[in-house]
Structure 1
Amino acid sequence: MIRAVIIDDETHCTQRLAGLLDRYCKQSVWVAGTFDNVDDAVAGVAALKPELVFLDIQLHEQTGFDLLGRLPQIDFEVIFTTAYDNYAIQAFKFSAVDYLLKPIDPDDLLQAIVRLQKILDQRQLTEKFNTLLHNLKTTDNTSKKITVATNKGLLFLQVSDITRCQSDVNYTTIYLKDKQQIMVAKTLKDFEDMLTDHNFFRIHNSHLINMDCIKSYHKGKGGYVTLNDNTSLEVSTRRRDLFLKKVEEM
């Protein structure tokens, strides 16, 4: 899902574009916010961190170029929207993904989103490839990275930053040392296959833990472990002996 904002000083234009996106691009674009002047837009872009900005050229007495000039960095794609085609050459000098004339035609909008998606997909492919090269070059397991796909895009996680993974049927929640929680549309078995060689162990049908994050083990029928973040998790009876053997090998 592409996180977008619309910046336009005409309310009816903002409403039309938002309506077209909701009707034709609902599965691929999410409008996180709308702004009608440069000052509010500068603050909004900084807060919302969009991947895409639909930017009107004329914004009251200022322009979309004034907005871009005030940003410390432009780390999003831009689709300019305007009624004035004489701005086109200047717009593309800012590396706009596309340029849409008002009133915006649905087919032109769809084509622009398709082109944008290809750019974003290629960017993610580059990041995936860089992660692969990183993992091939390093022999230190704690420095390895994994790529996980979320509903907001790809995340590249350091294996050593993961405390545990918890199953929720066909989804898995990843718990990080900084207390972030990330839900991923993969099974716990997928992560077990990825992480077992990196000192992770599945102590239960629902729990895969980073053995380096164990604070203590408490005996019982299966017993339970307490992790460094004070989370206590049951060790299944079936997995207990293998778990204790793993502990001895540490």
Structure 2
Amino acid sequence: MLKAIIIDDEQHCVDRISKLLCKHNNTIDLVGISTTIEDAKTSIESMLPDVIFLDVHIHDKTGFDLLKQFSNIDCEIIFTTAYDRYAVDAFKFSALDYLLKPIDENEFCLAIEKIKKKASLKDISKKVEVLIHNLENKNQLLRKIAVSTSEGLTFVEVANIVRCQSDINYTHFFLKDKRKITVAKTIKHFENLLEQHNFFRIHKSHLINLSFVEKYLKGKGGYVLMSDKTHIDVAVRRKDAFLKKLSTTF
């Protein structure tokens, strides 16, 4: 049986999560509710929960103020937050789970199922570190993204990604320092994450960082010369949108 704690200063949110947890009482036991950072720290230290439902904003503080008080985090964390595009992007970049308020039951159930299937918590502290880094450094060039490789979780500076190349259900990252990282996710996943951060998918197999484009050569679709000296074709159907994006970037 997993032990859960709710940390939230809004009673209706506490009630909502408590009600949803009742439907999973065969696997998760709600052992505590905290409405302040101070009480939450004490509860975590004494109850040693397996799962924490953590509100991002708690009175005049944040859930991150709480997490910074722990040198190591060895439980699952599901953040709850009102919609904020930047914050949501930060959660996605750090590969941490979050639920938007008002909490949807289906989304809640999906989060619970993910918790049940997870076999290791060794990367939680690293994920939280990256999340806080991204939230505190709103300059997109400082943002880091968490990617799962065969060796474990790797954190990459977005500004160091030259390009991404599709390989069916895998994506190869080519970095500024010549490293290559292979991730078991489709290029579409990273297109959705990176398109707002100066990346453009010029071909079904290629997502590029526009900061590393050295030259565009005209043609039917044309092609780009990247800083790592690779030549990449521009798909004909993406050409106009790509040129428009280039004109607003440089």
Q: Deviations over 1:2-59 (max 9, x none)?
A: xxxxxxxxxxxxxxxxxxxxxxxxxxxxxxxxxxxxxxxxxxxxxxxxxxxxxxxxxx
Give the letter for the 2:222 counterpart.
G
Give the letter for the 1:143 counterpart.
L
Q: Which residue matches 1:248? A: 247
Q: Which residue matches 2:178? A: 179
Trace 1:74-223 onto structure 2 (pairs within 5 A). Answer: 121-223=120-222
**Displacement after TM superposition at 1:166 (Å):** 0.2
TM-score, length of structure 2 as denominator length: 0.52
Secondary structure at the residue paired with 1:186? coil
**Displacement after TM superposition at 1:139 (Å):** 1.3
CA distance in 1, matches of 2:214, 2:157: 21
CA distance in 2, matches of 1:217, 1:158: 25
**Displacement after TM superposition at 1:136 (Å):** 1.0
The two structures, once aligned, show a CA RMSD in angstroms of 1.3
CA distance in 1, matches of 2:166, 2:121: 31
**Displacement after TM superposition at 1:247 (Å):** 0.5
Tell me, which stretches of 5 or more residues in structure 1 are unaligned? 1-116
Which structure has greater helix proportion? 1
Trace 1:62-77 onto structure 2 (pairs within 5 A). Answer: none
CA distance in 1, matches of 2:129, 2:164: 24
Trace 1:10-21 onto structure 2 (pairs within 5 A). Answer: none
Trace 1:4-83 onto structure 2 (pairs within 5 A). Answer: none
CA distance in 2, matches of 1:127, 1:139: 19
**Displacement after TM superposition at 1:229 (Å):** 1.1
Secondary structure at the residue paired with 1:172? strand
Secondary structure at the residue paired with 1:149? strand
Q: How many aligned positions are there?
A: 132
Of 217-226 and 121-130, the range deviating more from structure 2: 121-130
CA distance in 2, matches of 1:133, 1:197: 19
Tell me, which stretches of 5 or more residues in structure 2 are unaligned? 1-117
**Displacement after TM superposition at 1:205 (Å):** 0.1
**Displacement after TM superposition at 1:152 (Å):** 0.6
